Chains A and B, each alone.
Chain A
Protein backbone atom coordinates (compact mmCIF):
# COMPACT_ATOMS: atom_id res chain seq x y z
CA UNK A 1 0.00 0.00 0.00
CA UNK A 2 1.99 2.96 1.30
CA UNK A 3 5.55 2.67 0.03
CA UNK A 4 7.89 1.09 2.54
CA UNK A 5 9.28 3.96 4.56
CA UNK A 6 6.66 6.24 3.05
CA UNK A 7 8.10 9.72 2.60
CA UNK A 8 11.07 8.96 4.80
CA UNK A 9 14.47 10.46 4.23
CA UNK A 10 16.73 8.62 1.83
CA UNK A 11 13.93 7.91 -0.61
CA UNK A 12 12.90 10.11 -3.46
CA UNK A 13 9.25 10.94 -2.71
CA UNK A 14 8.72 11.85 -6.37
CA UNK A 15 9.67 8.40 -7.63
CA UNK A 16 6.68 6.05 -7.96
CA UNK A 17 7.10 2.95 -5.76
CA UNK A 18 7.40 -0.29 -7.72
CA UNK A 19 4.15 -1.91 -6.61
CA UNK A 20 2.11 0.84 -8.26
CA UNK A 21 3.13 -0.49 -11.69
CA UNK A 22 1.51 -3.78 -10.69
CA UNK A 23 -1.59 -1.93 -9.44
CA UNK A 24 -1.69 -0.09 -12.77
CA UNK A 25 -1.54 -3.35 -14.68
CA UNK A 26 -4.48 -4.81 -12.69
CA UNK A 27 -6.48 -1.60 -13.13
CA UNK A 28 -5.88 -1.81 -16.88
CA UNK A 29 -7.01 -5.45 -16.92
CA UNK A 30 -10.11 -4.45 -14.91
CA UNK A 31 -11.03 -1.72 -17.39
CA UNK A 32 -10.47 -4.05 -20.37
CA UNK A 33 -12.70 -6.74 -18.78
CA UNK A 34 -15.45 -4.42 -17.52
CA UNK A 35 -16.15 -2.71 -20.84
CA UNK A 36 -17.29 -5.88 -22.71
CA UNK A 37 -19.06 -7.20 -19.59
CA UNK A 38 -21.13 -4.02 -19.37
CA UNK A 39 -21.84 -4.25 -23.10
CA UNK A 40 -23.25 -7.77 -22.56
CA UNK A 41 -25.27 -6.62 -19.54
CA UNK A 42 -26.77 -3.77 -21.55
CA UNK A 43 -27.89 -6.33 -24.17
CA UNK A 44 -29.45 -8.37 -21.34
CA UNK A 45 -31.24 -5.27 -20.07
CA UNK A 46 -32.61 -4.70 -23.59
CA UNK A 47 -33.82 -8.30 -23.61
CA UNK A 48 -35.58 -7.67 -20.28
CA UNK A 49 -37.17 -4.50 -21.72
CA UNK A 50 -38.58 -6.64 -24.56
CA UNK A 51 -39.87 -9.28 -22.13
CA UNK A 52 -41.40 -6.76 -19.75
CA UNK A 53 -42.94 -4.84 -22.66
CA UNK A 54 -44.80 -7.78 -24.22
CA UNK A 55 -48.40 -6.77 -24.95
CA UNK A 56 -51.26 -8.41 -23.09
CA UNK A 57 -52.94 -11.07 -25.24
CA UNK A 58 -56.08 -9.68 -26.81
CA UNK A 59 -57.63 -13.01 -27.75
CA UNK A 60 -57.02 -16.74 -28.05
CA UNK A 61 -54.99 -16.22 -31.24
CA UNK A 62 -52.38 -14.14 -29.48
CA UNK A 63 -49.78 -11.94 -31.09
CA UNK A 64 -47.32 -13.02 -33.75
CA UNK A 65 -44.34 -11.60 -31.88
CA UNK A 66 -45.53 -13.05 -28.59
CA UNK A 67 -47.92 -11.85 -25.93
CA UNK A 68 -48.59 -12.13 -22.24
CA UNK A 69 -51.40 -14.53 -21.33
CA UNK A 70 -52.76 -14.12 -17.82
CA UNK A 71 -55.16 -16.24 -15.82
CA UNK A 72 -55.58 -18.91 -13.21
CA UNK A 73 -53.25 -21.86 -13.52
CA UNK A 74 -55.13 -25.14 -13.72
CA UNK A 75 -53.94 -28.68 -13.79
CA UNK A 76 -54.17 -32.08 -12.25
CA UNK A 77 -53.91 -31.84 -8.45
CA UNK A 78 -50.57 -33.33 -7.47
CA UNK A 79 -48.52 -33.96 -4.35
CA UNK A 80 -44.84 -33.05 -4.34
CA UNK A 81 -42.17 -35.22 -2.65
CA UNK A 82 -42.51 -32.83 0.33
CA UNK A 83 -46.22 -33.68 0.48
CA UNK A 84 -47.38 -30.24 -0.67
CA UNK A 85 -50.33 -29.74 -3.05
CA UNK A 86 -49.36 -28.43 -6.49
CA UNK A 87 -50.46 -28.23 -10.08
CA UNK A 88 -46.86 -27.94 -11.29
CA UNK A 89 -43.59 -28.56 -9.51
CA UNK A 90 -39.88 -29.05 -10.04
CA UNK A 91 -37.68 -30.75 -7.44
CA UNK A 92 -33.89 -30.65 -7.65
CA UNK A 93 -31.49 -32.84 -5.73
CA UNK A 94 -28.19 -31.07 -5.16
CA UNK A 95 -24.92 -32.24 -3.69
CA UNK A 96 -22.23 -30.00 -2.25
CA UNK A 97 -18.74 -31.46 -2.39
CA UNK A 98 -15.34 -30.19 -1.36
CA UNK A 99 -13.37 -28.61 -4.20
CA UNK A 100 -9.91 -27.43 -3.26
CA UNK A 101 -10.34 -25.07 -0.32
CA UNK A 102 -13.98 -24.31 -1.17
CA UNK A 103 -17.05 -26.28 -2.09
CA UNK A 104 -19.00 -26.76 -5.28
CA UNK A 105 -22.74 -27.49 -5.58
CA UNK A 106 -23.93 -29.70 -8.42
CA UNK A 107 -27.40 -30.67 -9.57
CA UNK A 108 -27.65 -34.46 -9.36
CA UNK A 109 -31.23 -35.13 -10.32
CA UNK A 110 -34.31 -33.23 -11.40
CA UNK A 111 -37.87 -34.38 -10.93
CA UNK A 112 -41.16 -32.68 -11.55
CA UNK A 113 -44.37 -32.30 -13.39
CA UNK A 114 -45.10 -29.38 -15.70
CA UNK A 115 -47.54 -31.18 -17.98
CA UNK A 116 -51.29 -30.92 -18.47
CA UNK A 117 -51.42 -27.26 -17.45
CA UNK A 118 -53.92 -24.76 -18.75
CA UNK A 119 -54.58 -21.11 -18.14
CA UNK A 120 -58.11 -19.87 -17.42
CA UNK A 121 -57.89 -16.64 -19.45
CA UNK A 122 -60.71 -14.09 -19.97
CA UNK A 123 -61.25 -15.65 -23.40
CA UNK A 124 -61.43 -19.26 -22.24
CA UNK A 125 -59.19 -22.02 -20.97
CA UNK A 126 -55.99 -22.33 -23.00
CA UNK A 127 -53.70 -25.35 -22.64
CA UNK A 128 -49.99 -24.62 -22.13
CA UNK A 129 -47.51 -26.64 -24.20
CA UNK A 130 -45.57 -28.56 -21.57
CA UNK A 131 -41.81 -28.40 -21.52
CA UNK A 132 -39.83 -31.20 -19.89
CA UNK A 133 -38.71 -30.27 -16.35
CA UNK A 134 -35.08 -30.72 -17.47
CA UNK A 135 -35.54 -28.13 -20.25
CA UNK A 136 -36.66 -25.28 -18.02
CA UNK A 137 -34.76 -22.83 -15.90
CA UNK A 138 -35.88 -22.36 -12.31
CA UNK A 139 -32.86 -20.70 -10.69
CA UNK A 140 -33.26 -17.23 -12.22
CA UNK A 141 -29.95 -17.43 -14.06
CA UNK A 142 -30.29 -14.86 -16.83
CA UNK A 143 -27.36 -16.30 -18.81
CA UNK A 144 -29.27 -19.59 -19.28
CA UNK A 145 -32.67 -17.98 -19.71
CA UNK A 146 -31.42 -15.84 -22.57
CA UNK A 147 -30.35 -18.94 -24.48
CA UNK A 148 -34.06 -19.57 -25.23
CA UNK A 149 -34.67 -21.80 -22.21
CA UNK A 150 -38.09 -21.09 -20.74
CA UNK A 151 -37.97 -19.84 -17.17
CA UNK A 152 -40.64 -21.21 -14.86
CA UNK A 153 -41.09 -19.15 -11.72
CA UNK A 154 -43.39 -21.37 -9.69
CA UNK A 155 -43.07 -19.50 -6.40
CA UNK A 156 -40.55 -19.35 -3.57
CA UNK A 157 -38.50 -22.53 -3.23
CA UNK A 158 -38.20 -24.76 -0.18
CA UNK A 159 -34.86 -26.39 0.59
CA UNK A 160 -34.68 -29.40 2.88
CA UNK A 161 -32.14 -31.92 4.07
CA UNK A 162 -32.18 -34.88 4.30
CA UNK A 163 -33.61 -35.75 0.90
CA UNK A 164 -37.27 -36.89 0.99
CA UNK A 165 -37.73 -40.65 0.54
CA UNK A 166 -39.72 -40.26 -2.66
CA UNK A 167 -36.98 -38.18 -4.29
CA UNK A 168 -34.36 -40.78 -3.29
CA UNK A 169 -36.42 -43.51 -4.95
CA UNK A 170 -37.36 -41.58 -8.08
CA UNK A 171 -33.78 -40.39 -8.59
CA UNK A 172 -32.41 -43.85 -7.72
CA UNK A 173 -29.82 -42.32 -5.43
CA UNK A 174 -27.17 -44.46 -3.80
CA UNK A 175 -27.99 -44.37 -0.08
CA UNK A 176 -24.36 -44.90 0.86
CA UNK A 177 -23.33 -41.86 -1.18
CA UNK A 178 -25.94 -39.80 0.66
CA UNK A 179 -24.06 -40.33 3.91
CA UNK A 180 -20.83 -38.89 2.49
CA UNK A 181 -21.37 -35.38 1.11
CA UNK A 182 -23.87 -32.62 1.85
CA UNK A 183 -27.13 -33.28 0.00
CA UNK A 184 -30.18 -31.04 -0.26
CA UNK A 185 -33.54 -31.11 -2.00
CA UNK A 186 -34.89 -27.87 -3.49
CA UNK A 187 -38.55 -27.77 -4.42
CA UNK A 188 -40.38 -25.17 -6.52
CA UNK A 189 -44.16 -25.56 -6.73
CA UNK A 190 -47.21 -23.75 -7.98
CA UNK A 191 -50.14 -24.26 -5.60
CA UNK A 192 -53.56 -25.01 -7.11
CA UNK A 193 -55.50 -21.87 -8.08
CA UNK A 194 -52.37 -19.73 -8.56
CA UNK A 195 -52.62 -16.71 -10.82
CA UNK A 196 -49.97 -16.87 -13.50
CA UNK A 197 -48.69 -15.20 -16.65
CA UNK A 198 -47.20 -16.97 -19.65
CA UNK A 199 -45.12 -15.25 -22.35
CA UNK A 200 -45.68 -17.09 -25.59
CA UNK A 201 -47.58 -17.41 -28.83
CA UNK A 202 -51.01 -19.02 -29.28
CA UNK A 203 -51.10 -21.69 -31.95
CA UNK A 204 -54.27 -23.74 -32.39
CA UNK A 205 -55.57 -22.53 -29.05
CA UNK A 206 -52.44 -23.73 -27.24
CA UNK A 207 -49.93 -21.35 -25.60
CA UNK A 208 -46.49 -22.37 -26.83
CA UNK A 209 -43.07 -20.85 -27.35
CA UNK A 210 -42.81 -18.37 -30.18
CA UNK A 211 -40.56 -19.32 -33.11
CA UNK A 212 -38.44 -16.23 -32.44
CA UNK A 213 -38.19 -13.40 -29.93
CA UNK A 214 -38.24 -13.34 -26.16
CA UNK A 215 -41.58 -15.10 -25.58
CA UNK A 216 -40.27 -18.66 -25.32
CA UNK A 217 -42.94 -19.88 -22.93
CA UNK A 218 -41.76 -18.28 -19.68
CA UNK A 219 -44.29 -18.96 -16.94
CA UNK A 220 -44.48 -16.85 -13.82
CA UNK A 221 -46.78 -17.48 -10.89
CA UNK A 222 -47.89 -14.13 -9.48
CA UNK A 223 -47.35 -12.20 -12.74
CA UNK A 224 -44.54 -11.46 -15.16
CA UNK A 225 -43.10 -8.68 -12.97
CA UNK A 226 -41.92 -11.26 -10.43
CA UNK A 227 -40.00 -13.15 -13.10
CA UNK A 228 -38.51 -9.97 -14.59
CA UNK A 229 -37.46 -8.87 -11.09
CA UNK A 230 -35.58 -12.13 -10.51
CA UNK A 231 -33.78 -11.86 -13.84
CA UNK A 232 -32.99 -8.16 -13.24
CA UNK A 233 -31.58 -8.99 -9.79
CA UNK A 234 -29.41 -11.69 -11.35
CA UNK A 235 -28.09 -9.19 -13.94
CA UNK A 236 -27.34 -6.58 -11.29
CA UNK A 237 -25.59 -9.09 -9.00
CA UNK A 238 -23.19 -10.02 -11.79
CA UNK A 239 -22.55 -6.35 -12.60
CA UNK A 240 -22.03 -5.28 -8.98
CA UNK A 241 -19.79 -8.23 -8.12
CA UNK A 242 -17.59 -7.80 -11.19
CA UNK A 243 -17.34 -4.03 -10.76
CA UNK A 244 -16.30 -4.42 -7.14
CA UNK A 245 -13.78 -7.10 -8.07
CA UNK A 246 -12.35 -5.08 -10.93
CA UNK A 247 -12.28 -1.86 -8.86
CA UNK A 248 -10.27 -3.46 -6.06
CA UNK A 249 -6.83 -2.38 -7.25
CA UNK A 250 -8.14 1.03 -8.30
CA UNK A 251 -9.35 1.52 -4.73
CA UNK A 252 -6.12 0.15 -3.22
CA UNK A 253 -3.89 2.29 -5.46
CA UNK A 254 -6.07 5.39 -5.16
CA UNK A 255 -6.40 5.16 -1.38
CA UNK A 256 -2.65 4.65 -0.96
CA UNK A 257 -1.88 7.60 -3.22
CA UNK A 258 -4.30 9.81 -1.28
CA UNK A 259 -2.64 8.77 1.99
CA UNK A 260 0.77 9.68 0.54
CA UNK A 261 -0.60 13.08 -0.54
CA UNK A 262 -2.15 13.73 2.87
CA UNK A 263 1.06 12.77 4.62
CA UNK A 264 2.99 15.15 2.33
CA UNK A 265 0.41 17.87 3.01
CA UNK A 266 0.77 17.44 6.78
CA UNK A 267 4.54 17.65 6.42
CA UNK A 268 4.25 20.80 4.30
CA UNK A 269 1.92 22.37 6.88
CA UNK A 270 4.41 21.50 9.63
CA UNK A 271 7.22 23.20 7.70
CA UNK A 272 5.31 26.37 6.92
Chain B
Protein backbone atom coordinates (compact mmCIF):
# COMPACT_ATOMS: atom_id res chain seq x y z
CA UNK B 1 0.00 0.00 0.00
CA UNK B 2 2.78 2.44 0.95
CA UNK B 3 4.70 1.38 -2.16
CA UNK B 4 1.64 2.12 -4.30
CA UNK B 5 1.28 5.58 -2.74
CA UNK B 6 4.95 6.30 -3.41
CA UNK B 7 4.53 5.37 -7.06
CA UNK B 8 1.35 7.43 -7.40
CA UNK B 9 3.29 10.42 -6.01
CA UNK B 10 5.73 10.38 -8.97
CA UNK B 11 3.72 12.94 -10.99
CA UNK B 12 3.54 15.36 -8.02
CA UNK B 13 6.78 17.35 -8.69
CA UNK B 14 5.58 18.00 -12.26
CA UNK B 15 2.12 18.97 -11.03
CA UNK B 16 3.62 21.37 -8.48
CA UNK B 17 5.67 23.12 -11.17
CA UNK B 18 2.66 23.26 -13.46
CA UNK B 19 0.54 24.74 -10.64
CA UNK B 20 3.23 27.40 -10.10
CA UNK B 21 3.15 28.26 -13.81
CA UNK B 22 -0.67 28.47 -13.78
CA UNK B 23 -0.65 30.73 -10.71
CA UNK B 24 1.97 32.95 -12.39
CA UNK B 25 -0.16 33.09 -15.54
CA UNK B 26 -3.22 34.18 -13.58
CA UNK B 27 -1.54 36.98 -11.62
CA UNK B 28 0.27 38.19 -14.74
CA UNK B 29 -2.99 38.31 -16.69
CA UNK B 30 -4.79 40.13 -13.86
CA UNK B 31 -2.06 42.76 -13.68
CA UNK B 32 -1.91 43.16 -17.48
CA UNK B 33 -5.69 43.55 -17.73
CA UNK B 34 -5.44 46.50 -15.38
CA UNK B 35 -2.48 48.10 -17.12
CA UNK B 36 -3.92 47.88 -20.65
CA UNK B 37 -0.67 48.42 -22.54
CA UNK B 38 0.96 50.95 -20.20
CA UNK B 39 3.11 48.33 -18.46
CA UNK B 40 6.90 48.00 -18.75
CA UNK B 41 7.38 45.76 -21.78
CA UNK B 42 10.38 43.92 -20.33
CA UNK B 43 8.37 42.88 -17.23
CA UNK B 44 5.54 41.57 -19.40
CA UNK B 45 8.00 39.58 -21.53
CA UNK B 46 9.80 38.19 -18.51
CA UNK B 47 6.58 37.15 -16.79
CA UNK B 48 5.33 35.43 -19.95
CA UNK B 49 8.68 33.73 -20.58
CA UNK B 50 8.72 32.40 -17.00
CA UNK B 51 5.17 31.08 -17.34
CA UNK B 52 6.00 29.32 -20.63
CA UNK B 53 9.28 27.83 -19.38
CA UNK B 54 7.87 26.68 -16.03
CA UNK B 55 4.84 25.25 -17.80
CA UNK B 56 7.07 23.35 -20.23
CA UNK B 57 9.33 22.07 -17.44
CA UNK B 58 6.26 21.10 -15.38
CA UNK B 59 4.72 19.24 -18.32
CA UNK B 60 8.01 17.42 -19.04
CA UNK B 61 8.39 16.42 -15.38
CA UNK B 62 4.73 15.42 -15.17
CA UNK B 63 5.13 13.29 -18.29
CA UNK B 64 8.26 11.62 -16.96
CA UNK B 65 6.71 11.02 -13.52
CA UNK B 66 3.53 9.61 -15.05
CA UNK B 67 5.51 7.39 -17.42
CA UNK B 68 7.69 6.07 -14.59
CA UNK B 69 4.63 5.35 -12.42
CA UNK B 70 3.07 3.49 -15.35
CA UNK B 71 6.29 1.50 -15.90
CA UNK B 72 6.42 0.45 -12.24
CA UNK B 73 2.73 -0.46 -12.06
CA UNK B 74 2.84 -2.56 -15.24
CA UNK B 75 5.84 -4.56 -13.99
CA UNK B 76 4.65 -7.89 -12.60
CA UNK B 77 4.80 -7.86 -8.79
Give A residues with C-beta under 8 Å from B. 13-16, 20, 23, 27, 31, 34, 38, 41-42, 45, 48-49, 51-53, 56, 68, 223-226, 228-229, 232-233, 235-236, 239-240, 243-244, 246-247, 250-251, 253-258, 260-262, 264-265, 268-269
| B contact residues around A262 at 8 Å (CB) | 27, 31
Residues of A near B22 (CB, < 8 A) are none
Assess whether A254 is in contact with B24, with CB atoms less than 8 Å apart. yes
- Given the known inter-chain contacts A34-B57, A53-B74, please indicate yes or no for A264 contacting B50, CB distance below 8 A: no
Least CB distance, A271 to chain B, in whole angstroms: 10
Contacts of B19 in A (CB 8 A): none
Which among B54, B71, B77 is the interface contact of A247 at CB below 8 angstroms? B54
Q: Which residue of B lies closest to A226 (CB)?
A: B3
Assess A243 versus B31: contact at CB under 8 Å? Given A56-B76, A253-B50, A254-B51.
no
Chain A residues near B27: list those with CB within 8 A.
258, 262
A-B residue pair count with CB separations less than 8 angstroms: 150
Contacts of A14 in B (CB 8 A): 40-42
Q: Are B50 and A268 in contact (CB under 8 A)?
A: no
B interface residues with partner A (beta carbon < 8 Å): 3, 6-7, 10, 13, 17, 20, 24, 27-28, 30-32, 34-35, 38-47, 49-51, 53-54, 57, 60-61, 64-65, 67-69, 71-72, 74-77
A38 to B63, CA, bound (A): 11
Alpha-carbon distance A49/B43, docked complex (angstroms): 43
Decide if B39 touches A261 in the complex (CB within 8 Å): yes
Chain A nearest Cβ from B75, distance in angstroms: 4
Contact (Cβ within 8 A) A236 B40: no
Evaluate contact between B46 and A253: CB separation under 8 angstroms. yes
The dominant DSSP class at the A interface is helix
Known: A224-B75, A225-B77, A268-B38. A243 touches B6 (CB 8 A): no
Inter-chain CA distance A90–B7, complex, in Å, is 27
Smallest CB separation, A166 vs chain B (Å): 33
* Known contacts A239-B13, A239-B61, A254-B53; 11 further A-B pairs (Cβ under 8 A): A15-B40, A16-B42, A45-B64, A49-B71, A225-B76, A251-B54, A253-B50, A261-B39, A264-B31, A265-B35, A268-B38
